[in-house]
Chains A and B, each alone.
Chain A
Amino acid sequence: MTELVTTSLTAKAGDATLVEGAELRLAPGELVALLGPNGAGKTSLLRAALGLVKPDSGNATLGGTESTRLSPMQRARQIAYLPQLRPLAWPNTVRDVVALGRFAYGAAPGRLSKEDAAAIDRAITICDLAGLSHRRTDTLSGGELARVHCARAFAAEAPLLIADEPVAALDPRHQFRVMDMVRQFVDRGGGALVVLHDIPLAARYASRLVWMKEGRIIADGPPAETLTEQRMADVYGVKARIGGLNIEIEGAI
């Protein structure tokens, strides 16, 4: 079973400590939401955990191997990574972009094996893109484009998925659609770690919430246990009223 595990992981940029002593675990079958205000070190934690930056101390392992020792292709076959969305450089077709998810298997948009093509078709069906597969990506709406990126991540058919703010700038309906896709991925046996800023959305979907503040993980557990009015005040500096999984944010403190 492929797991992502970090042990007292610390990452710095110059003098600034971005992540300090982070203990994080992601296993198949769970949907983890990583929460924290801007600048809390969420993206830095993900990058260090994936081995995209070298940790200054501590370590991160993916499937038992230290993640900085994995080649980019080996890593990509175990964990699909959706960074914060950036515009695509060229107006490729939807199918060609989804095909890039198969890069770690030696595929290229113009050169797909049978397995590659089948995985791409499955991802396109899951993300409900069948009608759009020959459209150019520069003609898509933001919500459609977000689905294309999800499909590209699912096409890799890796056991784990990390998505950094996959629902940023999406309307409520598309936020739910994207989170539904992530949940289906977990139901099929995957493990997903999703950075979210929408706390109600996180509470509704996640099996576990990981709270970050100033580079440290300060809480990690099921929403029912870790989502409290006190924590909302500590982490986000907002006054919130919480009843079960319902959250009403009343304003800044």
Chain B
Amino acid sequence: MNSNTLLLPVLVASTLAALFAACLLGSTPMPADRVLMAFLGTGDTADQLVIWQIRLPRALAAFLTGAALGISGAALQGLLRNPLAEPGVLGVSASASLAATFSLYYGLAAISIWVLPVAAILGALAATALIALAAIQTRSVVTLILIGVGLSSFAGAAMSLLMNLAPNPFSLSDMINWMLGSVANRSFQEVGLAIPFIASGAAILLFTRRGLSALTLGEEAASGVGLNLRNQRIWTVLGAGLATGGSVALAGAIGFVGIVAPHMIRPFTGHDPARSLIPSALLAGLILVVADIGVRLLPTSNELKLGVVAALIGAPAFVWIAMRRRTVND
């Protein structure tokens, strides 16, 4: 019981520490006193520039992306009653990033700064809705995950096609960014564009989280205890679609954090999907902030993409969770 009450404070404190560390560390490390002065707006102007224009927005972007994926993953796992459900695995992230790439490719993104995030969100919602529809048809979660694999592959193929046809190396490198996932060079403007979507998605998921606990009993029994199944599906799909779409608009497709974070959180929250949402969001955000610090510090000739690092850590974890899973209900 004790570990449960400590969970949130520990996560919040570690997240703040990680965000602060992200401001300290970098190609030129900055001592803590200079960072603090820059935060207060009293330090050296160059320091202020580095903190406010480069390091802090980037760290916040990493945190928001992770938080959105963590809460979406935890909610989708509750809805589908399977620990392997996640925006990345279900093809939601890939579809969102395909839609974003599409808007870039056809120059639609130049019309308004809102086009790209909205495209990403529409892509995410289309994929989530398709999966929710399939979830009504089939009881088998394995089928759903296979549908997700199909969606991912299709989105990947369509993206390769766009890259294949890319008119110039610049658009090619833009697309690669969306495909691999990165928070490099993010500004507060981009963070600000993604926040409304991530926040509204997260709010929807939090308001409707009670139903996710009821779904533990299975769908029939959940409606027996008073859950409106149809509304629960719609809200969870909408919330996860908005949050995931917002995260993709900000950082491109980043996979597996949405699985790993809730999996680590569940034992501390009594395996209750509703109580896992907020801690999963915090932990997933924390993981990406730390991973992004790693990305920036690793002395590689080309900076590694955050999405690549996340997948390198997350994919083995996915396999491990899948292998340890006892075959229960599918």
Residues of A within 8 A of B (CB): 50, 52, 71-73, 75-77, 80-83, 86-93, 96-97, 100-101, 103-104, 108-111, 136, 152, 156
Nearest A residue to B1, CB-CB: A134
Nearest A residue to B269, CB-CB: A110
B137 to A: closest C-beta gap in Å: 15
Q: List 17 A-B contacts (CB under 8 A).
A: A72-B223, A72-B228, A75-B226, A80-B224, A82-B221, A89-B82, A91-B271, A93-B270, A96-B213, A97-B217, A100-B214, A100-B217, A100-B225, A103-B214, A110-B213, A110-B272, A110-B275
Asked if A109 meets B328 with Cβ closer than 8 Å, knowing A82-B221, A100-B217, the reply is no
Interface check B227, CB cutoff 8 A: yes
Q: Report B-chain residues with C-beta under 8 Å of the C-beta of A73.
A: 226, 228
CA distance A232 to B271 in the complex (A): 46
Q: Report B-chain residues with C-beta under 8 Å of the C-beta of A136.
A: 271
Per the 8 Å Cβ criterion, residues 269-314 of B in contact with A are 269-275
Nearest A residue to B209, CB-CB: A108
Choose one: A50, A75, A103; the contact of B210 (CB below 8 Å): A103
B142 to A: closest C-beta gap in Å: 14
Residues of B within 8 A of A (CB): 81-82, 209-210, 213-218, 220-221, 223-229, 266, 269-275, 328-329
* B216 with A100: CB separation less than 8 A: yes
* A109 with B226: CB separation less than 8 A: no
* B274 with A108: CB separation less than 8 A: yes
* A97 with B216: CB separation less than 8 A: yes
Q: Which of B209, B213, B266, B273 has the most CB of A within 10 A?
A: B213
* A71 with B228: CB separation less than 8 A: yes
CA distance A136 to B210 in the complex (A): 20
Q: Report A-chain residues with C-beta under 8 Å of the C-beta of B271.
A: 90-92, 136
* B224 with A77: CB separation less than 8 A: no
Choose one: A50, A81, A109, A156; the contact of B274 (CB below 8 Å): A109
Interface of A is mostly: mixed
B295 to A: closest C-beta gap in Å: 34
CA distance A251 to B310 in the complex (A): 63
Q: Report B-chain residues with C-beta under 8 Å of the C-beta of A76.
A: 224-226
Nearest A residue to B4, CB-CB: A110
B264 to A: closest C-beta gap in Å: 15
B278 to A: closest C-beta gap in Å: 11
Choose one: B82, B213, B266; the contact of A100 (CB below 8 Å): B213
The 5 closest A-B pairs by CB, nearest first: A104-B226, A76-B226, A89-B81, A81-B224, A90-B271
Q: Report B-chain residues with C-beta under 8 Å of the C-beta of A82.
A: 221, 224
Q: Which of B225, B269, B273, B329 has the most CB of A within 10 A?
A: B225
CA distance A204 to B266 in the complex (A): 44
Q: Report A-chain residues with C-beta under 8 Å of the C-beta of B224.
A: 50, 76, 80-83
* Beyond A71-B226, A81-B225, A110-B269, 8 additional pairs, beta carbon < 8 A: A52-B220, A72-B228, A76-B224, A89-B328, A109-B275, A110-B274, A136-B271, A152-B225
Nearest B residue to A105, CB-CB: B226
Nearest A residue to B328, CB-CB: A87
CA distance A108 to B215 in the complex (A): 12
Choose one: B81, B220, B221, B272; the contact of A92 (CB below 8 Å): B272
Q: Report B-chain residues with C-beta under 8 Å of the C-beta of A88.
A: 216-218
CA distance A218 to B82 in the complex (A): 42
Q: Report B-chain residues with C-beta under 8 Å of the C-beta of A96.
A: 213, 270, 272
Nearest B residue to A103, CB-CB: B225
Choose one: A80, A81, A89, A110; the contact of B216 (CB below 8 Å): A89
Q: Report B-chain residues with C-beta under 8 Å of the C-beta of A104.
A: 225-226
Q: Report A-chain residues with C-beta under 8 Å of the C-beta of B270.
A: 92-93, 96, 109
Q: Report A-chain residues with C-beta under 8 Å of the C-beta of B210.
A: 103, 108, 111
CA distance A135 to B217 in the complex (A): 17
B214 to A: closest C-beta gap in Å: 5
Q: Which of B213, B226, B228 has the most CB of A within 10 A?
A: B226
Nearest B residue to A95, CB-CB: B270
Q: Report A-chain residues with C-beta under 8 Å of the C-beta of B328.
A: 87, 89
Q: Report B-chain residues with C-beta under 8 Å of the C-beta of A97.
A: 216-217
* A109 with B213: CB separation less than 8 A: yes
